[in-house]
Every structure is written in C-alpha cells, then in structure tokens.
Amino acid sequence: MTDDVENTEQAEAEVDELEALRAENEELIDTVQRVKAEFDNYRKRAARDQESLVARAGERIVKELLPVLDDLERALEAAESHEEAKLEEGVKLVHRQLEQLLEREGLAPVATDGKFDPNVHEALLTQPSAAEEGSVIEVLQKGYRLGDRVLRPARVVVAGPKDEDGDQV
C-alpha cells in the first residue's frame, strides 16, 4: 500500500510540475506576443517618422528661396513699364523656372480669394470696403504651403465693417 501511496504522490507531483510548466509556458507566450506587438508599433512609428523627415527635408531651402521668388516678381512688375523687352523676357523665364522647381518640391500658393482664414492668412490691417466684412481685399505678400504645412502665411488687407447706412466707415 505504501507503493500505491508513493506512486499516487509521485503522479500528483508530476501533474503539479506539468501544470506549473504549462503556466510558465503560457506566461512566456504572452510576453513574446507583447514584445512582438511593441516591436510592430515601434516599426510603424519609425516608418511614419522617416516619411515625415523626408517630406520636410527640402523645407529649409524652399523657405530660403521664397525671397528670391518675391524679388523676381517685383522685377517683373518694374520691367513691364520699361522698353527693354529682352530683360523682361529673361526675368520671366527665370521666374517661371524657379516657380516650376518649387512646385515640383511641393510648394503651392495660399489661396487669398474669399474670407480671411487666420490659419493661412496674416491680416496686416483692415480697411473699410464695399466688399463683405472679413474678406480679403488685397494681398501684400503671397503665402505658401509646402505639402500640408503653411510655410509662410499670406499677408493681406481685410475688409472692415461698414456703418449702419451701408456706407464705408
């Protein structure tokens, strides 16, 4: 009978050991699954960060080229009033090339027709106008977007309020 008791105790010990090993195995599988999920999240986050970095890589140079574009636009306006058609043609060519280059890099002008939008416009002043209050009536400096970000807001004049008679204030 002691043999049977010893065998039963040994069998119970083996069952307990087997259950402990199963629990440890399940715990290890759970840990591995968590580490795998964390790694997948890290990989996705690193890929998003890399895409963002690539998208912003040209931002500094494009921002530095904006004053050149502005100067060329002013030169074109001045050249139109002079007889030197070749100068005007040359400046137009350079302007067109620079504009195309910047467009290929993702630069787009900020729309300035319609209502004032503080997200993309910078109101330098308001003026009484026959236009609807809060609408853009003059653009003092073009604004630009690079991809989905505003690189430089458009500097604009906004229509102010009229008096009760409908006249300009």
pLDDT tens per residue across span 71-87: 888 777 777 777 666 77
CB 151 within 8 A of CB 63: yes
Cα 40–42–48 angle (5° rounding)?
105
The residue that leads in pLDDT, 88 or 151, is 151
- State pLDDT tens for residues 11-47: 888 888 999 999 999 999 999 999 999 999 999 999 9
CA dihedral for 36, 41, 44, 46, sign (positive or negative): negative
Name the pTM for this structure.
0.56
Do the beta carbons of residue 150 and residue 119 sit within 8 Å?
Answer: yes
Question: Tens digits of per-residue pLDDT, 131-158?
Answer: 888 899 999 999 999 988 999 999 999 9
pLDDT of residue 165: 55
